[in-house]
Structure 1
Amino acid sequence: MEGKEKEQRKHQQKHSGPKAERKKLKKQGPTTEEDARKRNPKAFAVQSAVRMAKTFHRSQDIKTKKHHIPLVDRTPLEPPPVVIVVMGPPKVGKSTLIRCLIKNFTRQKLGDIVGPVTIVSGKKRRLTFMECNNDINTMIDLAKVADLVLMLIDASFGFEMETFEFLNICQVHGFPRIMGVLTHLDSFKNNKVLRKTKKNLKHRFWTEVYQGAKLFYLSGMVYGEYQTQEVKNLGRFISVMKFRPLVWQTSHPYVLADR
Protein backbone atom coordinates (compact mmCIF):
# COMPACT_ATOMS: atom_id res chain seq x y z
CA MET A 1 0.00 0.00 0.00
CA GLU A 2 2.89 2.34 0.86
CA GLY A 3 4.49 1.66 -2.50
CA LYS A 4 1.47 2.88 -4.27
CA GLU A 5 1.44 6.62 -3.51
CA LYS A 6 -2.04 7.98 -3.10
CA GLU A 7 -2.79 9.73 -6.37
CA GLN A 8 -3.57 13.45 -6.15
CA ARG A 9 -6.96 14.40 -7.49
CA LYS A 10 -6.66 16.31 -10.73
CA HIS A 11 -7.95 19.89 -10.82
CA GLN A 12 -11.25 19.98 -12.60
CA GLN A 13 -11.70 22.96 -14.86
CA LYS A 14 -14.97 24.81 -14.53
CA HIS A 15 -17.05 24.69 -17.67
CA SER A 16 -20.01 26.81 -16.61
CA GLY A 17 -20.79 29.62 -14.26
CA PRO A 18 -19.75 33.29 -14.19
CA LYS A 19 -16.05 32.61 -13.50
CA ALA A 20 -15.76 30.24 -16.45
CA GLU A 21 -17.49 32.78 -18.68
CA ARG A 22 -15.02 35.46 -17.63
CA LYS A 23 -12.08 33.17 -18.38
CA LYS A 24 -13.49 32.33 -21.81
CA LEU A 25 -13.87 36.02 -22.60
CA LYS A 26 -10.30 36.66 -21.46
CA LYS A 27 -9.03 34.04 -23.86
CA GLN A 28 -11.00 35.51 -26.74
CA GLY A 29 -9.21 38.86 -26.43
CA PRO A 30 -10.06 42.48 -25.59
CA THR A 31 -13.69 43.55 -25.71
CA THR A 32 -14.88 45.95 -28.37
CA GLU A 33 -16.75 49.17 -27.67
CA GLU A 34 -19.90 47.49 -28.96
CA ASP A 35 -19.72 44.84 -26.26
CA ALA A 36 -19.12 47.48 -23.64
CA ARG A 37 -22.12 49.40 -24.91
CA LYS A 38 -24.28 46.29 -24.62
CA ARG A 39 -22.99 45.55 -21.17
CA ASN A 40 -23.34 49.07 -19.76
CA PRO A 41 -25.54 51.24 -21.98
CA LYS A 42 -25.88 54.01 -19.41
CA ALA A 43 -22.18 54.78 -19.51
CA PHE A 44 -22.43 55.54 -23.23
CA ALA A 45 -25.65 57.54 -23.08
CA VAL A 46 -25.86 61.33 -23.51
CA GLN A 47 -25.14 62.92 -20.14
CA SER A 48 -26.17 66.47 -21.03
CA ALA A 49 -28.12 67.48 -24.11
CA VAL A 50 -26.91 71.10 -23.89
CA ARG A 51 -23.27 70.05 -23.72
CA MET A 52 -23.71 67.68 -26.64
CA ALA A 53 -25.36 70.39 -28.73
CA LYS A 54 -22.47 72.74 -27.92
CA THR A 55 -19.79 70.24 -28.90
CA PHE A 56 -21.66 69.40 -32.09
CA HIS A 57 -21.96 73.07 -33.09
CA ARG A 58 -18.32 73.65 -32.26
CA SER A 59 -17.16 70.74 -34.42
CA GLN A 60 -19.39 71.92 -37.27
CA ASP A 61 -17.91 75.42 -37.01
CA ILE A 62 -14.40 74.02 -37.21
CA LYS A 63 -15.36 71.92 -40.24
CA THR A 64 -16.87 74.88 -42.10
CA LYS A 65 -13.82 76.99 -41.26
CA LYS A 66 -11.70 74.40 -43.03
CA HIS A 67 -13.96 74.63 -46.07
CA HIS A 68 -13.00 78.28 -46.63
CA ILE A 69 -11.52 78.58 -50.10
CA PRO A 70 -7.83 79.45 -49.80
CA LEU A 71 -7.54 82.92 -51.24
CA VAL A 72 -4.67 84.06 -53.41
CA ASP A 73 -2.66 86.58 -51.44
CA ARG A 74 -2.45 89.53 -53.80
CA THR A 75 -1.03 91.94 -51.25
CA PRO A 76 2.23 93.59 -52.31
CA LEU A 77 5.46 93.24 -50.32
CA GLU A 78 4.55 96.37 -48.42
CA PRO A 79 0.86 95.78 -47.68
CA PRO A 80 -1.46 98.77 -47.40
CA PRO A 81 -2.34 99.86 -43.87
CA VAL A 82 -5.33 98.32 -42.15
CA VAL A 83 -8.14 100.87 -42.15
CA ILE A 84 -9.69 101.11 -38.69
CA VAL A 85 -12.82 103.22 -38.44
CA VAL A 86 -13.72 104.52 -35.00
CA MET A 87 -17.44 105.05 -35.03
CA GLY A 88 -20.00 106.18 -32.49
CA PRO A 89 -22.47 108.90 -31.57
CA PRO A 90 -21.21 112.32 -30.40
CA LYS A 91 -19.52 112.66 -26.99
CA VAL A 92 -18.86 108.93 -26.67
CA GLY A 93 -15.05 109.22 -26.61
CA LYS A 94 -13.89 108.53 -30.18
CA SER A 95 -11.04 111.07 -30.28
CA THR A 96 -9.90 110.03 -26.81
CA LEU A 97 -9.75 106.38 -27.86
CA ILE A 98 -7.76 107.18 -31.02
CA ARG A 99 -5.39 109.33 -28.97
CA CYS A 100 -4.90 106.56 -26.39
CA LEU A 101 -4.30 103.90 -29.09
CA ILE A 102 -1.74 106.16 -30.84
CA LYS A 103 0.00 106.75 -27.52
CA ASN A 104 -0.03 103.00 -26.89
CA PHE A 105 1.69 102.21 -30.21
CA THR A 106 4.00 105.22 -30.67
CA ARG A 107 4.66 106.32 -27.07
CA GLN A 108 3.88 109.93 -27.96
CA LYS A 109 0.88 112.12 -27.40
CA LEU A 110 -1.12 113.67 -30.17
CA GLY A 111 -3.07 116.87 -29.52
CA ASP A 112 -5.69 117.50 -32.18
CA ILE A 113 -6.58 114.78 -34.64
CA VAL A 114 -7.15 116.15 -38.13
CA GLY A 115 -8.00 113.50 -40.70
CA PRO A 116 -6.69 109.94 -40.74
CA VAL A 117 -3.65 108.94 -38.67
CA THR A 118 -1.35 106.13 -39.85
CA ILE A 119 0.98 104.37 -37.41
CA VAL A 120 3.28 101.36 -37.51
CA SER A 121 2.12 98.56 -35.22
CA GLY A 122 4.42 95.71 -36.25
CA LYS A 123 7.10 94.64 -38.72
CA LYS A 124 4.65 94.29 -41.57
CA ARG A 125 1.58 96.08 -40.32
CA ARG A 126 0.48 99.69 -40.42
CA LEU A 127 -2.80 100.94 -39.02
CA THR A 128 -4.81 103.91 -40.22
CA PHE A 129 -7.27 105.29 -37.69
CA MET A 130 -10.19 107.26 -39.06
CA GLU A 131 -12.87 108.94 -37.05
CA CYS A 132 -16.37 108.63 -38.43
CA ASN A 133 -18.36 111.86 -38.33
CA ASN A 134 -22.05 111.85 -37.71
CA ASP A 135 -23.39 112.33 -41.20
CA ILE A 136 -24.67 109.62 -43.48
CA ASN A 137 -22.25 110.35 -46.35
CA THR A 138 -19.18 109.83 -44.16
CA MET A 139 -20.70 106.66 -42.78
CA ILE A 140 -21.28 105.24 -46.27
CA ASP A 141 -17.78 106.22 -47.47
CA LEU A 142 -16.07 104.65 -44.49
CA ALA A 143 -18.20 101.48 -44.44
CA LYS A 144 -16.94 100.76 -47.96
CA VAL A 145 -13.23 100.92 -47.11
CA ALA A 146 -13.07 99.80 -43.48
CA ASP A 147 -11.22 96.62 -42.54
CA LEU A 148 -12.17 96.90 -38.90
CA VAL A 149 -14.81 99.02 -37.19
CA LEU A 150 -14.44 99.96 -33.55
CA MET A 151 -18.00 100.68 -32.56
CA LEU A 152 -18.13 102.85 -29.47
CA ILE A 153 -21.21 102.48 -27.30
CA ASP A 154 -22.08 104.73 -24.37
CA ALA A 155 -22.94 102.24 -21.62
CA SER A 156 -24.75 104.84 -19.53
CA PHE A 157 -27.14 105.56 -22.42
CA GLY A 158 -27.19 102.34 -24.46
CA PHE A 159 -27.45 101.99 -28.21
CA GLU A 160 -28.23 105.06 -30.24
CA MET A 161 -29.75 105.54 -33.66
CA GLU A 162 -26.37 106.18 -35.34
CA THR A 163 -25.06 102.78 -34.31
CA PHE A 164 -27.93 100.93 -35.97
CA GLU A 165 -27.73 103.12 -39.05
CA PHE A 166 -24.05 102.38 -39.46
CA LEU A 167 -24.61 98.64 -38.95
CA ASN A 168 -27.23 98.66 -41.70
CA ILE A 169 -24.87 100.51 -44.03
CA CYS A 170 -22.14 97.96 -43.25
CA GLN A 171 -24.44 95.06 -44.06
CA VAL A 172 -25.01 96.47 -47.53
CA HIS A 173 -21.30 97.06 -48.12
CA GLY A 174 -19.87 93.64 -47.40
CA PHE A 175 -19.81 93.83 -43.59
CA PRO A 176 -16.25 94.44 -42.30
CA ARG A 177 -14.97 93.13 -38.97
CA ILE A 178 -16.82 94.87 -36.13
CA MET A 179 -15.69 95.16 -32.53
CA GLY A 180 -17.73 96.84 -29.82
CA VAL A 181 -16.17 99.12 -27.20
CA LEU A 182 -18.24 100.06 -24.15
CA THR A 183 -17.31 103.43 -22.62
CA HIS A 184 -18.61 105.52 -19.70
CA LEU A 185 -18.67 102.52 -17.39
CA ASP A 186 -17.44 104.72 -14.52
CA SER A 187 -20.86 106.42 -14.40
CA PHE A 188 -22.28 103.32 -12.66
CA LYS A 189 -21.97 103.43 -8.91
CA ASN A 190 -23.70 100.12 -8.23
CA ASN A 191 -21.74 97.02 -9.26
CA LYS A 192 -24.82 94.86 -9.76
CA VAL A 193 -26.41 97.37 -12.15
CA LEU A 194 -23.12 97.60 -14.05
CA ARG A 195 -22.91 93.82 -14.51
CA LYS A 196 -26.52 93.65 -15.68
CA THR A 197 -26.04 96.52 -18.14
CA LYS A 198 -22.88 94.92 -19.54
CA LYS A 199 -24.72 91.65 -20.10
CA ASN A 200 -27.75 93.28 -21.74
CA LEU A 201 -25.64 95.42 -24.06
CA LYS A 202 -23.46 92.46 -24.98
CA HIS A 203 -26.44 90.33 -26.01
CA ARG A 204 -28.01 93.24 -27.89
CA PHE A 205 -24.73 93.75 -29.73
CA TRP A 206 -24.55 90.03 -30.54
CA THR A 207 -28.03 90.04 -32.10
CA GLU A 208 -26.97 92.95 -34.33
CA VAL A 209 -23.53 91.65 -35.39
CA TYR A 210 -23.11 87.92 -34.71
CA GLN A 211 -23.09 85.61 -31.70
CA GLY A 212 -19.80 85.93 -29.87
CA ALA A 213 -18.69 89.23 -31.42
CA LYS A 214 -15.85 90.78 -29.45
CA LEU A 215 -16.81 93.48 -26.99
CA PHE A 216 -14.27 95.50 -25.00
CA TYR A 217 -15.00 97.34 -21.78
CA LEU A 218 -13.21 100.62 -21.01
CA SER A 219 -14.02 100.96 -17.35
CA GLY A 220 -13.03 104.54 -16.61
CA MET A 221 -10.84 107.55 -17.27
CA VAL A 222 -7.58 108.44 -15.52
CA TYR A 223 -6.48 112.05 -16.11
CA GLY A 224 -8.65 112.32 -19.21
CA GLU A 225 -7.38 109.07 -20.77
CA TYR A 226 -8.54 105.48 -20.69
CA GLN A 227 -6.71 103.01 -18.46
CA THR A 228 -3.38 101.96 -19.93
CA GLN A 229 -3.84 98.22 -19.47
CA GLU A 230 -7.25 98.18 -21.17
CA VAL A 231 -5.99 100.21 -24.14
CA LYS A 232 -2.97 97.90 -24.35
CA ASN A 233 -5.25 94.85 -24.54
CA LEU A 234 -7.32 96.46 -27.27
CA GLY A 235 -4.19 97.45 -29.17
CA ARG A 236 -2.74 93.95 -28.91
CA PHE A 237 -5.99 92.50 -30.21
CA ILE A 238 -5.98 94.87 -33.20
CA SER A 239 -2.31 94.30 -34.06
CA VAL A 240 -2.64 90.50 -34.34
CA MET A 241 -6.05 90.40 -36.01
CA LYS A 242 -6.35 88.56 -39.31
CA PHE A 243 -8.62 89.91 -42.01
CA ARG A 244 -10.20 87.85 -44.76
CA PRO A 245 -10.41 89.80 -48.01
CA LEU A 246 -14.04 90.85 -48.38
CA VAL A 247 -15.61 89.82 -51.67
CA TRP A 248 -17.50 93.10 -51.82
CA GLN A 249 -14.34 95.17 -51.45
CA THR A 250 -12.34 93.15 -53.97
CA SER A 251 -15.10 93.50 -56.56
CA HIS A 252 -15.48 97.28 -55.96
CA PRO A 253 -12.15 98.99 -56.54
CA TYR A 254 -11.51 102.23 -54.68
CA VAL A 255 -8.81 104.79 -54.01
CA LEU A 256 -8.34 106.07 -50.47
CA ALA A 257 -6.62 109.46 -50.35
CA ASP A 258 -5.00 110.34 -47.05
CA ARG A 259 -4.52 114.07 -47.61
Structure 2
Amino acid sequence: METKDQKKHRKKNSGPKAEKKKKRHLQDLQLGDKDAGKRNLKAFAVQSAVRMARSFHRAPTNSSSGDGASKVGKRTLIQGLIRNFTRQKLTEIRSPVTIVSGKKRRLTIIECGCDINMMVDLAKAADVVLMLIDASFGFEMETFEFLNIFQVHGFPKIMGVLTHLDSFKHNKKLKKTKKQLKHSFWTEVSRGAKLFCLSGMPHGEYQNHEIHNLGRFITVMKFRPLTWQTSHPYILADRMEDLTNPEDIRTNIKCDRQVSLYVIKRSTLEK
Protein backbone atom coordinates (compact mmCIF):
# COMPACT_ATOMS: atom_id res chain seq x y z
CA MET A 1 0.00 0.00 0.00
CA GLU A 2 1.09 3.54 -0.79
CA THR A 3 1.31 6.21 1.86
CA LYS A 4 0.95 9.96 1.42
CA ASP A 5 4.69 10.53 1.80
CA GLN A 6 5.60 7.88 -0.79
CA LYS A 7 6.39 9.29 -4.29
CA LYS A 8 4.96 7.74 -7.46
CA HIS A 9 7.22 5.86 -9.87
CA ARG A 10 8.66 8.03 -12.63
CA LYS A 11 9.93 6.73 -15.93
CA LYS A 12 13.62 7.21 -16.61
CA ASN A 13 14.44 9.69 -19.38
CA SER A 14 18.20 9.19 -19.29
CA GLY A 15 20.62 6.40 -18.71
CA PRO A 16 21.42 3.12 -20.50
CA LYS A 17 17.93 1.59 -20.07
CA ALA A 18 16.22 4.71 -21.42
CA GLU A 19 18.55 4.74 -24.44
CA LYS A 20 17.76 1.08 -25.20
CA LYS A 21 14.01 1.76 -25.05
CA LYS A 22 14.42 4.76 -27.33
CA LYS A 23 16.39 2.76 -29.94
CA ARG A 24 13.85 -0.08 -29.79
CA HIS A 25 11.01 2.40 -30.34
CA LEU A 26 12.80 3.96 -33.34
CA GLN A 27 13.37 0.52 -34.85
CA ASP A 28 9.64 -0.23 -34.57
CA LEU A 29 8.90 3.02 -36.42
CA GLN A 30 11.66 2.25 -38.98
CA LEU A 31 13.46 5.49 -38.16
CA GLY A 32 17.13 6.03 -37.50
CA ASP A 33 18.84 8.24 -34.96
CA LYS A 34 19.31 10.98 -37.58
CA ASP A 35 15.58 11.10 -38.43
CA ALA A 36 14.48 11.14 -34.81
CA GLY A 37 14.76 14.93 -34.53
CA LYS A 38 12.71 15.49 -37.70
CA ARG A 39 9.72 13.56 -36.39
CA ASN A 40 7.21 15.78 -34.63
CA LEU A 41 4.23 13.99 -33.11
CA LYS A 42 2.19 17.22 -32.86
CA ALA A 43 2.90 18.46 -36.38
CA PHE A 44 -0.58 17.67 -37.74
CA ALA A 45 -2.54 17.71 -34.51
CA VAL A 46 -5.39 20.12 -33.78
CA GLN A 47 -3.93 23.13 -32.00
CA SER A 48 -7.21 24.94 -31.33
CA ALA A 49 -10.72 23.48 -31.38
CA VAL A 50 -12.30 26.92 -31.91
CA ARG A 51 -10.08 27.66 -34.92
CA MET A 52 -10.85 24.25 -36.41
CA ALA A 53 -14.61 24.86 -36.03
CA ARG A 54 -14.30 28.23 -37.79
CA SER A 55 -12.44 26.63 -40.69
CA PHE A 56 -15.27 24.13 -41.12
CA HIS A 57 -17.88 26.91 -41.15
CA ARG A 58 -15.88 29.00 -43.60
CA ALA A 59 -16.59 27.03 -46.78
CA PRO A 60 -20.32 26.96 -47.68
CA THR A 61 -21.55 23.50 -48.57
CA ASN A 62 -24.70 24.58 -50.45
CA SER A 63 -23.01 25.58 -53.69
CA SER A 64 -23.75 24.93 -57.32
CA SER A 65 -22.50 21.93 -59.22
CA GLY A 66 -19.27 22.01 -61.17
CA ASP A 67 -15.64 22.74 -60.47
CA GLY A 68 -13.74 25.99 -60.29
CA ALA A 69 -15.74 28.77 -58.65
CA SER A 70 -18.40 26.45 -57.19
CA LYS A 71 -17.26 26.92 -53.55
CA VAL A 72 -17.08 30.69 -53.59
CA GLY A 73 -20.36 31.18 -51.66
CA LYS A 74 -22.93 32.25 -54.27
CA ARG A 75 -25.94 30.52 -52.76
CA THR A 76 -25.09 31.65 -49.25
CA LEU A 77 -25.01 35.25 -50.47
CA ILE A 78 -28.39 34.84 -52.21
CA GLN A 79 -29.90 33.47 -49.01
CA GLY A 80 -28.49 36.44 -47.08
CA LEU A 81 -29.97 38.96 -49.53
CA ILE A 82 -33.37 37.25 -49.39
CA ARG A 83 -33.29 37.30 -45.60
CA ASN A 84 -32.31 40.98 -45.65
CA PHE A 85 -35.24 42.06 -47.85
CA THR A 86 -38.00 39.66 -46.75
CA ARG A 87 -37.01 38.84 -43.14
CA GLN A 88 -37.53 35.17 -44.05
CA LYS A 89 -34.97 32.40 -44.25
CA LEU A 90 -35.00 30.39 -47.46
CA THR A 91 -33.23 27.07 -46.96
CA GLU A 92 -33.37 25.75 -50.54
CA ILE A 93 -33.20 27.65 -53.84
CA ARG A 94 -34.47 25.84 -56.93
CA SER A 95 -35.29 28.67 -59.34
CA PRO A 96 -34.91 32.45 -59.81
CA VAL A 97 -36.19 34.35 -56.78
CA THR A 98 -38.09 37.64 -57.19
CA ILE A 99 -38.26 39.96 -54.18
CA VAL A 100 -39.63 43.46 -53.62
CA SER A 101 -36.84 45.87 -52.73
CA GLY A 102 -38.80 49.13 -52.87
CA LYS A 103 -42.07 50.79 -53.85
CA LYS A 104 -41.21 50.78 -57.54
CA ARG A 105 -38.54 48.11 -57.83
CA ARG A 106 -38.42 44.34 -57.85
CA LEU A 107 -35.27 42.27 -57.92
CA THR A 108 -34.97 38.89 -59.59
CA ILE A 109 -31.93 37.03 -58.30
CA ILE A 110 -30.54 34.26 -60.48
CA GLU A 111 -27.58 32.08 -59.52
CA CYS A 112 -25.09 31.53 -62.33
CA GLY A 113 -23.03 28.39 -62.25
CA CYS A 114 -19.84 27.52 -64.09
CA ASP A 115 -21.68 26.47 -67.25
CA ILE A 116 -20.69 28.51 -70.31
CA ASN A 117 -24.24 28.33 -71.74
CA MET A 118 -25.72 29.74 -68.55
CA MET A 119 -23.18 32.56 -68.58
CA VAL A 120 -24.12 33.55 -72.14
CA ASP A 121 -27.87 33.46 -71.42
CA LEU A 122 -27.60 35.62 -68.29
CA ALA A 123 -25.20 38.09 -69.92
CA LYS A 124 -27.95 38.93 -72.45
CA ALA A 125 -30.52 39.91 -69.79
CA ALA A 126 -28.63 40.95 -66.61
CA ASP A 127 -28.85 44.54 -65.37
CA VAL A 128 -26.34 44.16 -62.54
CA VAL A 129 -23.88 41.36 -61.84
CA LEU A 130 -22.46 40.42 -58.44
CA MET A 131 -19.19 38.68 -59.25
CA LEU A 132 -17.98 36.68 -56.26
CA ILE A 133 -14.22 36.26 -55.93
CA ASP A 134 -12.52 33.89 -53.52
CA ALA A 135 -9.88 36.11 -51.90
CA SER A 136 -7.87 33.11 -50.71
CA PHE A 137 -7.50 31.88 -54.32
CA GLY A 138 -7.80 35.01 -56.48
CA PHE A 139 -9.19 35.29 -59.99
CA GLU A 140 -10.11 32.02 -61.67
CA MET A 141 -10.54 31.12 -65.33
CA GLU A 142 -14.35 31.27 -64.99
CA THR A 143 -14.06 34.90 -63.89
CA PHE A 144 -12.16 35.96 -67.02
CA GLU A 145 -14.49 33.93 -69.25
CA PHE A 146 -17.53 35.63 -67.72
CA LEU A 147 -15.99 39.09 -68.18
CA ASN A 148 -15.21 38.38 -71.83
CA ILE A 149 -18.81 37.29 -72.39
CA PHE A 150 -20.07 40.52 -70.81
CA GLN A 151 -17.87 42.61 -73.09
CA VAL A 152 -19.57 41.04 -76.11
CA HIS A 153 -23.11 41.46 -74.72
CA GLY A 154 -23.17 45.13 -73.75
CA PHE A 155 -21.24 45.03 -70.44
CA PRO A 156 -23.85 45.71 -67.69
CA LYS A 157 -22.98 47.01 -64.22
CA ILE A 158 -20.57 44.67 -62.45
CA MET A 159 -19.79 44.69 -58.73
CA GLY A 160 -17.15 42.48 -57.18
CA VAL A 161 -17.67 40.71 -53.85
CA LEU A 162 -14.65 39.32 -51.99
CA THR A 163 -15.35 36.25 -49.87
CA HIS A 164 -13.30 33.93 -47.62
CA LEU A 165 -11.42 36.84 -46.08
CA ASP A 166 -11.43 35.02 -42.75
CA SER A 167 -8.86 32.58 -44.12
CA PHE A 168 -6.14 35.23 -43.66
CA LYS A 169 -4.61 35.16 -40.19
CA HIS A 170 -2.43 38.29 -40.54
CA ASN A 171 -3.83 41.74 -41.28
CA LYS A 172 -0.77 42.76 -43.28
CA LYS A 173 -1.27 39.93 -45.79
CA LEU A 174 -5.01 40.61 -45.89
CA LYS A 175 -4.55 44.29 -46.78
CA LYS A 176 -1.98 43.44 -49.45
CA THR A 177 -4.27 40.83 -51.03
CA LYS A 178 -7.28 43.17 -51.03
CA LYS A 179 -5.22 45.89 -52.68
CA GLN A 180 -3.94 43.53 -55.39
CA LEU A 181 -7.42 42.14 -56.12
CA LYS A 182 -8.90 45.64 -56.26
CA HIS A 183 -6.40 46.83 -58.89
CA SER A 184 -6.82 43.60 -60.88
CA PHE A 185 -10.60 44.03 -60.78
CA TRP A 186 -10.31 47.65 -61.93
CA THR A 187 -8.07 46.55 -64.80
CA GLU A 188 -10.58 43.96 -66.01
CA VAL A 189 -13.79 45.99 -65.47
CA SER A 190 -13.23 49.73 -65.09
CA ARG A 191 -11.34 52.02 -62.76
CA GLY A 192 -13.39 52.80 -59.67
CA ALA A 193 -15.64 49.72 -59.95
CA LYS A 194 -17.29 48.85 -56.65
CA LEU A 195 -15.71 46.00 -54.71
CA PHE A 196 -17.45 44.79 -51.54
CA CYS A 197 -15.68 42.76 -48.85
CA LEU A 198 -17.46 40.09 -46.81
CA SER A 199 -15.26 39.56 -43.77
CA GLY A 200 -16.33 36.03 -42.87
CA MET A 201 -18.99 33.53 -41.85
CA PRO A 202 -18.88 33.16 -38.06
CA HIS A 203 -22.04 30.97 -37.88
CA GLY A 204 -22.27 29.66 -41.43
CA GLU A 205 -23.83 32.93 -42.68
CA TYR A 206 -22.49 36.31 -43.74
CA GLN A 207 -22.73 39.14 -41.24
CA ASN A 208 -26.01 41.06 -41.24
CA HIS A 209 -24.58 44.58 -41.50
CA GLU A 210 -22.45 43.65 -44.53
CA ILE A 211 -25.41 42.08 -46.34
CA HIS A 212 -27.55 45.09 -45.41
CA ASN A 213 -25.01 47.51 -46.92
CA LEU A 214 -24.79 45.43 -50.11
CA GLY A 215 -28.58 45.24 -50.43
CA ARG A 216 -28.98 48.96 -49.84
CA PHE A 217 -26.41 49.72 -52.54
CA ILE A 218 -28.30 47.52 -55.03
CA THR A 219 -31.63 49.15 -54.11
CA VAL A 220 -30.52 52.73 -54.84
CA MET A 221 -28.52 51.82 -57.94
CA LYS A 222 -29.58 53.41 -61.24
CA PHE A 223 -29.42 51.26 -64.36
CA ARG A 224 -28.59 52.73 -67.75
CA PRO A 225 -30.24 51.29 -70.88
CA LEU A 226 -27.83 49.05 -72.75
CA THR A 227 -27.68 49.50 -76.53
CA TRP A 228 -27.00 45.81 -77.05
CA GLN A 229 -30.10 44.73 -75.11
CA THR A 230 -32.39 47.22 -76.86
CA SER A 231 -31.16 46.08 -80.28
CA HIS A 232 -31.39 42.33 -79.49
CA PRO A 233 -34.87 41.35 -78.25
CA TYR A 234 -35.11 38.58 -75.65
CA ILE A 235 -37.52 37.01 -73.16
CA LEU A 236 -36.47 35.86 -69.71
CA ALA A 237 -38.94 33.33 -68.27
CA ASP A 238 -39.10 32.07 -64.71
CA ARG A 239 -40.66 28.70 -65.47
CA MET A 240 -42.53 26.79 -68.17
CA GLU A 241 -45.69 24.69 -67.85
CA ASP A 242 -47.12 22.26 -70.40
CA LEU A 243 -50.92 22.79 -70.65
CA THR A 244 -51.51 20.16 -73.33
CA ASN A 245 -54.21 17.60 -72.67
CA PRO A 246 -52.50 14.42 -71.39
CA GLU A 247 -54.86 12.29 -73.48
CA ASP A 248 -53.66 13.99 -76.67
CA ILE A 249 -50.06 13.31 -75.69
CA ARG A 250 -50.89 9.66 -75.00
CA THR A 251 -52.51 9.11 -78.40
CA ASN A 252 -49.98 11.15 -80.37
CA ILE A 253 -46.65 11.94 -78.77
CA LYS A 254 -45.80 14.38 -81.62
CA CYS A 255 -48.96 16.47 -81.26
CA ASP A 256 -48.89 20.26 -80.97
CA ARG A 257 -48.17 21.37 -77.44
CA GLN A 258 -49.67 24.29 -75.56
CA VAL A 259 -47.00 25.86 -73.37
CA SER A 260 -47.31 28.63 -70.78
CA LEU A 261 -44.27 30.81 -70.00
CA TYR A 262 -44.06 32.95 -66.86
CA VAL A 263 -42.06 35.93 -68.10
CA ILE A 264 -39.78 37.84 -65.72
CA LYS A 265 -38.32 40.33 -68.14
CA ARG A 266 -38.51 41.00 -71.86
CA SER A 267 -36.96 43.42 -74.33
CA THR A 268 -38.51 44.55 -77.60
CA LEU A 269 -36.67 45.79 -80.63
CA GLU A 270 -36.72 49.59 -80.91
CA LYS A 271 -38.17 51.00 -84.16
Q: How does 1:226-237 map to 2 (within 5 A)?
A: 226-237=206-217
Q: Counterpart of 1:113?
A: 93
Return the alpha-carbon distance in structure 2 between the equivalents of residues 239 and 225 of structure 1.
21
Which residue, 217, 222, 225 being the options, matches 1:245?
A: 225
Q: How does 1:172-251 map to 2 (within 5 A)?
A: 172-251=152-231
Q: Deviations over 1:89-147 (max 9, x none)?
A: 11000000000000000000001111100000000000000000111100000011000
Any idea what SS the aligned residue of 2:158 has?
strand
| TM-score calculated relative to the size of structure 1 | 0.66
Return the alpha-carbon distance in structure 1 between the equivalents of residues 168 and 231 of structure 2.
46
Q: What amino acid is aligned across from residue 184 of structure 1 in structure 2?
A: H
Return the alpha-carbon distance in structure 1 between the equivalents of residues 142 and 124 of structure 2.
17
Any idea what SS the aligned residue of 2:71 has?
coil
Q: Counterpart of 1:146?
A: 126
Return the alpha-carbon distance in structure 2 between the equivalents of residues 222 and 98 of structure 1.
17
Which residue, 107, 112, 137 being the options, matches 1:132?
A: 112
Q: What amino acid is aligned across from residue 229 of structure 1 in structure 2?
A: H
Q: How does 1:23-34 map to 2 (within 5 A)?
A: none
Tell me whether 1:93 sits opposite 2:73 in the alignment.
yes
Q: Structure 2: where are the runs of 5+ without partners?
A: 1-67, 240-271
| TM-score calculated relative to the size of structure 2 | 0.63
Any idea what SS the aligned residue of 2:98 has?
strand
Q: CA RMSD in A?
A: 0.8
* Offset, 1:222: 2.5
Return the alpha-carbon distance in structure 1 between the equivalents of residues 125 and 138 of structure 2.
27
Any idea what SS the aligned residue of 1:229 has?
helix
Q: What amino acid is aligned across from residue 216 of structure 2 in structure 1?
A: R
The ranges of structure 1 where at least 4 consecutive aligned residues each deviate by more than 6 angstroms after the TM superposition are none
Q: What amino acid is aligned across from residue 200 of structure 1 in structure 2?
A: Q
* Offset, 1:194: 0.1
Any idea what SS the aligned residue of 2:235 has?
coil
Q: What amino acid is aligned across from residue 120 of structure 1 in structure 2?
A: V
Q: Deviations over 1:218-254 (max 9, x none)?
A: 0011311101000000000000000001010011111
Return the alpha-carbon distance in structure 2 between the equivalents of residues 102 and 223 of structure 1.
17
Q: Counterpart of 1:31?
A: none
Any idea what SS the aligned residue of 1:257 has?
strand
Segment of structure 1 superposing worse, 217-226 or 150-159:
217-226
Q: How does 1:65-76 map to 2 (within 5 A)?
A: none
Any idea what SS the aligned residue of 1:236 has?
helix
Q: What amino acid is aligned across from residue 236 of structure 2 in structure 1?
A: L
Size of the alignment, in residue pairs? 172
Return the alpha-carbon distance in structure 2 between the equivalents of residues 202 and 168 of structure 1.
18
Return the alpha-carbon distance in structure 2 between the equivalents of residues 166 and 106 of structure 1.
30
Any idea what SS the aligned residue of 2:72 has?
coil
